[in-house]
Amino acid sequence: LQLLAAVQTFGCNWQLVSANLVGRIGNQCSNRYCSLTCLSDLLLSNLCICAFYH
Protein backbone atom coordinates (compact mmCIF):
# COMPACT_ATOMS: atom_id res chain seq x y z
CA LEU A 1 0.00 0.00 0.00
CA GLN A 2 2.89 2.39 0.66
CA LEU A 3 4.19 1.86 -2.87
CA LEU A 4 0.82 2.54 -4.47
CA ALA A 5 0.36 5.68 -2.35
CA ALA A 6 3.82 6.94 -3.31
CA VAL A 7 3.15 6.33 -7.01
CA GLN A 8 -0.16 8.17 -6.70
CA THR A 9 1.70 11.11 -5.15
CA PHE A 10 4.87 11.19 -7.29
CA GLY A 11 3.82 9.41 -10.46
CA CYS A 12 6.45 7.25 -12.11
CA ASN A 13 9.41 9.23 -10.83
CA TRP A 14 10.92 6.13 -9.26
CA GLN A 15 13.67 7.98 -7.41
CA LEU A 16 11.10 10.07 -5.54
CA VAL A 17 8.96 7.00 -4.93
CA SER A 18 11.91 5.02 -3.56
CA ALA A 19 12.98 7.95 -1.35
CA ASN A 20 9.70 7.42 0.52
CA LEU A 21 10.16 3.67 0.93
CA VAL A 22 12.88 2.60 3.34
CA GLY A 23 15.42 0.20 1.87
CA ARG A 24 14.21 0.33 -1.75
CA ILE A 25 15.76 1.72 -4.91
CA GLY A 26 13.91 3.11 -7.90
CA ASN A 27 14.28 0.00 -10.02
CA GLN A 28 12.84 -2.21 -7.28
CA CYS A 29 9.85 0.12 -6.93
CA SER A 30 9.26 0.12 -10.67
CA ASN A 31 9.43 -3.66 -10.89
CA ARG A 32 7.11 -4.17 -7.94
CA TYR A 33 4.62 -1.60 -9.22
CA CYS A 34 4.51 -3.30 -12.60
CA SER A 35 4.03 -6.70 -11.01
CA LEU A 36 1.11 -5.29 -8.99
CA THR A 37 -0.57 -3.51 -11.88
CA CYS A 38 0.42 -4.99 -15.24
CA LEU A 39 0.18 -8.66 -14.39
CA SER A 40 -3.17 -8.29 -12.66
CA ASP A 41 -4.75 -6.64 -15.75
CA LEU A 42 -6.08 -3.70 -13.76
CA LEU A 43 -5.94 -0.90 -16.35
CA LEU A 44 -4.69 -0.52 -19.92
CA SER A 45 -2.94 2.73 -18.94
CA ASN A 46 -0.87 0.86 -16.36
CA LEU A 47 0.22 -1.58 -19.05
CA CYS A 48 1.44 1.33 -21.13
CA ILE A 49 3.34 2.81 -18.19
CA CYS A 50 4.90 -0.55 -17.45
CA ALA A 51 5.94 -1.10 -21.06
CA PHE A 52 7.46 2.39 -21.21
CA TYR A 53 9.65 1.93 -18.14
CA HIS A 54 10.88 -1.58 -18.95
Hey, what domains does the chain have and what are their CATH numbers? 2-53 (1.10.10)
Please, how many CA atoms are within 13 Å of residue 13, restricted to the half-sphere of its CB? Answer: 7
pLDDT digits (tens, 9 = 90+) for 9-34: 999 899 999 999 999 999 999 999 88
- The one-letter amino acid at 1: L
What is the model's pTM? 0.69
pLDDT digits (tens, 9 = 90+) for 32-41: 988 887 655 5
In residues, how long is the chain?
Answer: 54
DSSP the chain: -HHHHHHHHHTT-HHHHHHTSTT--HHHHHHHHHHHHTTTT--HHHHHHHHHH-
Can you tell me the distance from the alpha carbon of 39 to that of 36, in angstroms, rounded to the nearest whole number?
Answer: 6
